[in-house]
Structures are given as structure tokens and as C-alpha cells.
Amino acid sequence: MTNASPARRPAGEAPRPRTLVVLQPSYLPWLGYFDQMARADHFVYYDDVQFDKHGWRNRNQVKGPGGAQWLTVPVLTKDKFGQRNDEIRINNDSPWGRKHAAALRQNYARAPFLKEVLPPLEEVLSRRWELLLDLVLASNEVLRRLLGLATPLARASALGIGGGQTERLVNLCRHFGATRYLSGSSARDYLDEERFRAAGIRLEYQDYRHPTYPQLHGEFVGHLSVVDLLMNCGRDGLGILRTSEDPSPKGDR
């Protein structure tokens, strides 16, 4: 086998920006989460920041005959204010994993891609998990594999990179050689954009236009877990979800 010479950029052509995405780990995330992952050269799970008790870290929605239905992983948070995402423990007093698997099987019994999507998720849900983060990383790995995504992943807690809210993100960009940082749109409320400019990093916000796609159980419902898209559309899901720039964004669920 001969070694091909590397392709040369035309003189004067700027190098392609390298994009970093940093998101908190979320359970069975929505389409926009994986759109950001697909657009990243490096994706970092923000696993060592404070757990958002009322957010999307341990829950999401799928669709049943009655519409959107919650799948929530019970967690132990009473009298534990200030825990980080990587410290949250699951409450295994109830068979929540079996219930989630049964809900997926029942709600998507007639889905075209049930046989491709359900077995690997059932395998994850059948295990006993102690930490929420471990469950999330394992289930997200199944979902991104089903989508055909291979974006390199890292955990913020393993990188040893500190700094304040915006400063740390800038430092993470420097660590990965990223010249562009892609953020959820809700971060407009707290990111210091000048710090990114001073560091020579282009800050962009994801404004996600949610696609419609063939879906079970009547009128279309958006902003569900990506599981709904995969059950209905299979590997075509990646192409479907990558239609972004929504004028009414939903943030970084």
C-alpha cells in the first residue's frame, strides 16, 4: 500500500475551526444535545459541576398513546445540597430500570426500529447502577453508537482544568486547541463573551430548529428524548436531527 501525500490547503486558506462543546451529562437526551455532539471536534461531559435537581440530568420524555411520558431515574438528593453530577447516587429501592425498559417496549411496540434500538438500551437498564453518571454515560454511548457518532469524549473531572465559570471554558478550549466554542442558547445569560474574544475563540450559540419526522401515536410531539427519533427513523436519525438554528431555542437539555 502506498502512502498518499496529505492534502494541502490552498495558499491563503484559513484552517478549519476546531469546535468544543461542553454539556452536563443528561439521561436519554433530546435531539439538540446530539446535534451539538455531532458538530463538535471534542465533546466534554461537565460532570463536576453542581447537579441541577429540576433539570434534565436524571429524566427525559418519550411518547406514548397519551402523549409525552416522563422517564425519571430516582436519585438521592435529600439533605445533600451542592452535590456534583459525578456524586449523585441512584435510589434503587424501586425497579426503575425495569419500568423504563417496559415503558419503551410498550410505547414503541410498533416502531419500525424497535428491534435495533431497544435491546442495547434494555441491556444497560438491566444492570444495577449506583451512580447516575455511570448510567448516563453508558446509555448515551448506546445512543450515539446508534446514531453513528464518533466524536471524541472526555470528562471535565478527569482533565484537571480549573477557572471560573467562563474562564474554565476558555481554558478547556485552549486544552483541546479549539478556536470555536459552541454553547446552548441559555448560556447567553451568564457567559462573559469578551473573555472568549480576548482569547481568540469564537463563541457561537446553538439555536436549534426542531425537525419533524414520522412518529407514532398521533400528532407530532417535539423535544422528546432522541430515543423517540431512533425508534421511528433508525440510522436516518442523525441526518434528521441535524437541522438546527431555531428562532425559539430550548436550551442545552
Decide if 250 is inside a domain. no
Per-residue confidence (pLDDT) for residue 16, from 0 to 100: 74
Question: 169-192, pLDDT tens digit by residue?
Answer: 999 999 999 999 999 988 998 999
Decide if 69 is inside a domain. yes
Q: How many domains does the chain have?
A: 1
Packing angle of the helix pair 114-125, 96-107 (nearest 10 deg)? 170
Question: 72-109, pLDDT tens digit by residue?
Answer: 999 998 888 899 999 999 999 999 999 999 999 999 99
Question: 191-204, pLDDT tens digit by residue?
Answer: 999 999 999 999 99
Coil, strand, or helix at residue 19? strand
Decide if 191 is inside a domain. yes
DSSP string over 175-202: HHT-SEEEEEGGGGGT--HHHHHHTT-E
Decide if 31 is inside a domain. yes
Per-residue confidence (pLDDT) for residue 93, from 0 to 100: 97
Domain range for 26 is: 19-241
pLDDT under 50: residue ranges of the chain: 1-7, 245-252
User: Could you give the maximum distance between any two Cα atoms of the chain, in Å?
Assistant: 64
Decide if 5 is inside a domain. no
Packing angle of the helix pair 132-147, 114-125 (nearest 10 deg)? 160
Decide if 252 is inside a domain. no
Decide if 40 is inside a domain. yes
- What pTM value is reported for the model? 0.90
Within 108-157, residue ranges assigned H as helices are 114-125, 132-147
Decide if 76 is inside a domain. yes
Per-residue confidence (pLDDT) for residue 247, from 0 to 100: 40
